[in-house]
Structure 1
């Protein structure tokens, strides 16, 4: 079995110890070992690698610790692994594509110790994650309000990202085909809900209390005004090689 490596070439030792070879050409690799969240995002959201991904040291339950990599790759080389598709997300503001995310997208006040009011809505024609990515007709979906709340922000996490920031904010960890975890961040009320929703999901800023930023996978994309909304939708998937 031939493995590509992204993020840290030192894992080549584990690849060879597992009886596999290191492949530098993406088109010729059977799978790619992505070391760290940054490398995983590069592989998942880029177009260079199309083979299954083995995530390593990504700080989440679904990732392989580096110390277990040789044994895990040996099992994969013996045919014991399986491929699970995990969704990726597109972000649109006012109908324009502004970014993509593998783990999560968030609206959050740009200044510390400030709150704003946010709205969450879902489309009446929501499509399960197990379906093919939607076409542009989804942009005309009718929206049903889920809730409005005052908080520091609101995060929408994919199944891969649901064990990270969204979980720390009080959300559920969801499976690959379950949907999006939608969670208020530091809400003003003592009791608030979180949700698991099928895409697309619309986020909005309901009051002009403080500047609000759109953040995708820890990268600030742009500010969002109360006159704008952010539509978070599934735009594809990345195949993960797991036990």
Structure 2
């Protein structure tokens, strides 16, 4: 009996993504949508975030993601093309069958309590941003262990390890490794000695003092506003497996 055809989704635009699609077809894989795939190849940061959110929102079995590009966790495009046959050959088996790659778990955040009444997923970061220039808001950040702090700032950001080297790092936050937790960082705080935090599972953020709502930005896209005194929950919903080449394969 012949082996079943492996189903691969390739997300991204431009020549690198086209090269990955050609390489996938050459391995005998069938190109499908992410919802139907056995694995996803994500070319570029935006595609990686899309892939992670798609896996998290599917509420189904885990689908490994191969990040391709220049990001901190991404695989060089030439190496990805060379090693794609090993990924395809290992699909449907155990993690150990993915020869030359290891699975690294990354959290995806669920955002509940936004003004639109919908649940949103974030692969990189969730930001609360004061929309009016030169206007400082006050936020209560409540940690899941029962502690809370009040922060006056232009905004606040909660970042996964995948997004901790982006907007959160630019605001003065730590760069977090996989498994290290979530970075919670005030943006332009009204203090000379700002605090940042690393938490395990999530936080609850409430706008305490503001005449106008603040913008809720999820993975760089505005997803509505947060009215004063409304609490938004930002918590780890699930983890997704990113494929990382082992030392031997690099």
TM-score by length of 2: 0.77
Does the 8 Å contact 1:118/1:204 carry over to 2? Answer: yes
In the alignment, does 2:71 pair up with 1:51?
no
Shift of 1:207: 0.8
Deviations 1:135-189 (A, max 9, x none): xxxxxxxx321x2222110000011111111111111111222211000111121
Deviation beyond 4 Å, 4+ runs, structure 1: 26-30, 74-78, 94-97
Match of 2:106 in 1: 86
Gaps of 5+ in 1: 125-142
Gaps of 5+ in 2: 1-5, 90-97, 246-250
Partner Cα separation in structure 1 for residue 7 and residue 191 of structure 2: 52
Partner Cα separation in structure 2 for residue 230 and residue 63 of structure 1: 31
Partner Cα separation in structure 1 for residue 30 and residue 133 of structure 2: 46
Change (3 A) 1:199 1:13: closer
Q: Which moved more, 1:92-101 or 1:198-207?
A: 92-101
Question: What are the equivalent positions in structure 2 for 1:29-68 lying under 5 Å apart?
Answer: 30-46=38-54, 47=58, 50-57=62-69, 60-68=71-79
Task: Give the alignment's Cα RMSD to 1 decimal.
Answer: 2.8
Match of 1:135 in 2: none
Partner Cα separation in structure 2 for residue 179 and residue 65 of structure 1: 26
Match of 2:11 in 1: 6
In the alignment, does 2:126 pair up with 1:105?
yes
SS at match of 2:209: coil
Match of 1:24 in 2: 31
Change (3 A) 1:164 1:14: farther
Q: Which moved more, 1:149-158 or 1:167-176?
A: 167-176
Partner Cα separation in structure 2 for residue 24 and residue 16 of structure 1: 8
Shift of 1:101: 0.8
Equivalent residues, number: 222
